[in-house]
Amino acid sequence: MFNPRTFLEFARQLSLPNLGEVEYSTAIGRAYYSVFLVAREELNARGGEVKQQSPIYANLEHSKVRERFRTGRFKHSGVASRLRDLYLLKVRADYEIAGNAITKEHVDQALEYADYIFRVFDRLLFRGSTVFQDQP
Amino acid sequence: MPLLTKDVLEAGKIVVNEIRKEISNGLPVRDVTLTRLDDYDAGQWSELVFQIKVSLDTEAANEAWDRILDKIDKITESKMVDKSTRAALAEKIGVSLWWH
């Protein structure tokens, strides 16, 4: 299985100084999907039931994943809050076309959110995971 | 359904009080804004979020953020406030830190 964490490394490559909005927007999107896809697969493997069978309802997966970190056995307010903010940066990066909507500052903050979330995944919520065998 | 209900306003007062305490204890705040955030993909959630810009490094900012969330969680899980305000605290009010 492809490990979505590699998206985060790609995002880091696009976070260097003096790059443009195309690179920075792409970096934020990859950082978000790195976290979202790992969370979705890990939650689903543990009975979290976040994956939708029909692609028509795939857009519900974003809120379902976040909901699992807000209440219940995967509750972690730190993860839920950072995932919300990372999602909103992703939305801004995807849809806002006004000049300077996304800067290096936004990318740096997005990467910090992703780093925190993965630390909690590895140390607490999904410790010892076997979903992604090549997980660092 | 409107987001800004009586319960959400009550929950907001609790969050403001926690932020005020943090500032009194030295949290170096540059700016605080209150923003409505929505689920852009499926319209499943909306939240009022206090977005706090701070002058801290990553480790200190993450610690401060978790400390604030922990305090709010404790209030949400206690019987210190009524049930509807607790629900608003859990689902409709958020806190966000930004340090870059």
- Please name which of B10, B30, B3 lies closest in space to residue B75, comparing C-alpha atoms: B10
Average pLDDT over residues B59-85: 95
Do B69 and A81 make contact, defined as CB atoms within 8 angstroms? yes
A81 touches chain B (CB under 8 A): yes
The pTM assigned to this predicted structure is 0.94
Q: What is the pLDDT of residue A135?
A: 52
- Please name which of B86, B66, B68, B85 lies closest in space to residue B76, comparing C-alpha atoms: B86
Residue of B30, B77, B97, B99 for testing the chain A interface, max A β-carbons within 10 Å:
B97
DSSP string, B54-81: E---HHHHHHHHHHHHHHHHHHHHSSSS
Q: What is the CA radius of gyration of chain A?
A: 15
Instruction: Find the residue in A nearest to B73 (Cα).
Output: A77
Strands B46-54 and B29-38: antiparallel
Nearest CB to A88 within list B37, B66, B70: B37
Task: Give pLDDT tens digits for A13-72.
Answer: 999 999 999 999 999 999 999 999 999 999 999 998 898 888 888 889 999 999 999 999
B6-98 in CATH: which number? 3.30.300
Answer yes or no: is A18 within a domain. Answer: yes
ipTM attached to this prediction: 0.94
Could you tell me the residue ranges of all domains in chain B?
6-98
Q: How far is CA B83 from CA B5, B13, B76, B90, in A?
A: 14, 15, 9, 11
Answer yes or no: is A133 within a domain. Answer: no
- Please name which of A52, A69, A53, A70 lies closest in space to residue A61, comparing C-alpha atoms: A52
Q: What is the largest CA-CA distance in chain A?
A: 44
Q: How many domains does chain A have?
A: 1
What residues make up the domain containing A117?
A: 5-125
Task: Give pLDDT tens digits for B20-58.
Answer: 999 999 999 999 999 999 998 888 889 999 999 999 999
Answer yes or no: is A72 within a domain. Answer: yes
Tokens found for residue A10 = 């790609």
Answer yes or no: is A82 within a domain. Answer: yes
